[in-house]
Amino acid sequence: MSSKACTFLPLGAVIQKFVVNGTNIVQGFPTAELYKQYNAPYFGETIGRIANRVSKGKINELNGRSYQLPINNGPNSLHGGNKGWGKREFEGPFSVERSGKQATFFKYLSADGEEGYPGTVEARVWYVQEQEVIQGAQQEVLHIEFEVELVGDEVGETAINMTNHSYFNLTGGPSITGTDVTLITNKYQVVDDGGIPTGPIEEYPGVMPNKTFTLGEAKPDIDDCFVVNTDPKTISIDTRTSPLQKIASFYHPDSKIHLEIHSTEPAFQFYTGKYIDVPAVDSLPPRGPRSGFCVEPSRCVNAINIPEFKHTMLLKKGEKYGSKIMHIHRMINRVRPQSLASLAWYDDVIEVHRFPHKYQKLNVYSNQKLIWLGPAHSVWKAGLTCVLMLFSNPNHMVVRERHSPDSSIKFFSLGTPIKLTVASEQRKKPESTLCRGNTLLDGVEGLANSFKLWMIVEQLLPSAVHSHHILGSFHARSSSRRSHSVYGQGRIPSVSLPMSRDGDVFS
């Protein structure tokens, strides 16, 4: 189903709006004239010819010579120069068909010598908007496709690196504070004070792959290029033949808006907006530091001057530069452990179930740590069951819960699917549950009249995610008292879990 969540402008082929559930989640301006006057941060722009920085504004070797570019960011050239593609008028929008879908198309002819770059090239941008409904939840999807050809005869090769420079704010408010962030990688290009790589690709301090962290009022302050593919030999000038890969996801509990960024590109700049400084204009309030964050899929910084990465930006006559980006937005409920009303940690591995049955023996086949969340109510009725069915696709997980007699569906965004198997001796068959990234939601059978009992699993070690050895077994017993006994074996401790009266922590 096509969608009209986004609006675009010919100036810079800008993404002007992206509306999710009534909230515009990208920074921008109501008119093209205001973009011309105030868009120093590059809100929503299509960036080219080279996104990010070029060291000292110089392409060292191309067509047997060097090329000097405008210096507009300290000692370096940034985002295509003084008037890069984001500041240029594209032709369009045109309504076209792209891969069998309705698309909005823009194109721009960049002349030889523009901003110092060699060769006449034609840049093309396609936007495809879709709306999906999955298990009752609406999902807005924006596909972005870039393509460039060297169409002039002036030179035999040029340099290209495109991206989109949208700033996201999932609440539409003045700040990105409170946004949960999950990045697929913590490998990044170490840079000097001017943002130019110094050589090594290392692990970013304080960031773990697929591990969620939350943006505060000032920290973490990030403006770095994270590297998804560290092997330049496998990167071509046209990455569209590579599969789209989720590189980052974001969530804010106030709006319950979830954002995923997918791309075919080998790297992405993640910027938390420290230097945004836009005054109040028209009907818009001022936009200051950390009023938006950017995820800019692209090639590595200054790749055209790094021998082993140069070919990833080198466009030759007869070839096509290409890349794809996909933005997925939806409304979800998501567990945030730091805000839960009832939460208990246990050493090593422990699986806590409440059953109306007298005893239940379980074996856990995964090197995981579990958190127990108390139920919202303490009413137990034998014979009633809470059934949870978990589904997964590459984009999301759906948890369906049924409390007799009512039924409801909730959505949780949890990262890459991982399978945890729990063997139940009573049922005589394995019970499998899906988790995503470092977090798993495991539903509980047994219970009770309209309360919710969940467990969250977090991995202890990244290398242990796919480990499937028995770590221990234990008995779980429900009782009429307002507590629950768990009997440990081996390294699993015996504990007593008080029941929670704090209400539904997920609403």
Expressed in angstroms, the distance from the first to the final Cα of the chain is 29
- Residue span(s) of the chain under CATH 2.70.98.10 come to 6-331
Domain 6-331 adopts which CATH fold?
Beta-galactosidase; Chain A, domain 5 (2.70.98)
Place of tokens 């009512």: 406
Most confident of 295-304, 325-334, 414-423: 295-304
Share of the chain above pLDDT 70, in %: 64
Determine the Cα–Cα distance for residues 376 and 451; give it in Å rounded to an integer. Answer: 5
What pLDDT is attached to residue 407? 31
Burial of 317 (0-12, 13-18, 19+ CB in 10 A): middle
Q: Is the pLDDT of residue 478 over 50?
A: no
From the candidates 143, 165, 252, 327, give the one annotated as an active-site residue: 165
Per the confidence metrics, is the pTM higher than 0.85?
Answer: no
- Please give the average per-residue pLDDT across 458-476, as a whole number: 25
Dihedral angle of Cα 164, 305, 246, 420, to the nearest 10 degrees: -160
Determine the Cα–Cα distance for residues 238 and 451; give it in Å rounded to an integer. Answer: 52
Place of tokens 């989640």: 25
Q: Work out the pLDDT band at 137, boundaries 50, 70, 90.
A: low
- Nearest by Cα to 276 from 34, 46, 39, 32: 39
- Please give the average per-residue pLDDT across 286-294, as a whole number: 98
For residue 74, which phi and psi values (nearest 5 degrees)? 60, -130
Beta pairing partners, 203: 187
Contacts of 317 (CB under 8 A, 6+ apart): 150, 156, 157
Task: For residue range 83-107, list pLDDT tens digits in order.
Answer: 999 999 999 999 999 999 999 999 9
Q: Work out the pLDDT band at 380, boundaries 50, 70, 90.
A: very low
- Please give the average per-residue pLDDT across 324-342, as a whole number: 61
Q: Is the pLDDT of residue 489 over 50?
A: no
For residue 17, which phi and psi values (nearest 5 degrees)? -140, 150
Q: Is the pLDDT of residue 467 over 80?
A: no
Task: For residue range 11-47, list pLDDT tens digits in order.
Answer: 999 999 999 989 999 999 999 999 999 999 999 999 9
Q: Is the pLDDT of residue 125 over 90?
A: yes
Most confident of 236-240, 396-400, 427-431, 486-490: 236-240
Higher pLDDT pick, 49 / 348: 49
Task: For residue range 243-263, list pLDDT tens digits in order.
Answer: 999 999 999 988 989 999 999
Task: For residue range 341-376, list pLDDT tens digits in order.
Answer: 222 222 222 223 322 322 333 333 332 222 222 332
Active-site residue flag, 353? no
Q: Is the pLDDT of residue 180 over 70?
A: yes
Return the H-helix or E-strand segment holding 95.
Answer: strand 91-98
Place of tokens 């997925």: 328
What pLDDT is attached to residue 1? 53
Say which range, 205-209, 354-358, 500-504, has the weakest mean pLDDT: 500-504
- Please give the average per-residue pLDDT across 312-339, as a whole number: 81
What pLDDT is attached to residue 425? 35
Higher pLDDT pick, 342 / 238: 238
Mean pLDDT of the chain: 73
What pLDDT is attached to residue 330? 83
Let me know: does 412 contact 337? Beta carbons within 8 Å.
Answer: no
Place of tokens 């221990």: 472
Share of the chain above pLDDT 90, in %: 61
Q: Is the pLDDT of residue 439 over 50?
A: no
Higher pLDDT pick, 411 / 100: 100
Place of tokens 């998804």: 228
- Please give the average per-residue pLDDT across 383-404, as a whole number: 27
- Please give the average per-residue pLDDT across 492-506, as a whole number: 25
Q: Work out the pLDDT band at 333, boundaries 50, 70, 90.
A: low
Let me know: does 18 contact 24? Beta carbons within 8 Å.
Answer: yes
- HEC readout, 191-259: ECCCCCEEEEEEECCCCCCCCCEECCCCCCCCEEEEECCCCHHHCCCEHHHCCCEEEEEEEECCCCEEE
3-class secondary-structure state, position 464: helix
Q: Is the pLDDT of residue 187 over 80?
A: yes
How many Cα atoms occupy the beta-carbon half-sphere of 172 within 13 Å? 13
Sign of CA dihedral 357, 363, 368, 369: positive
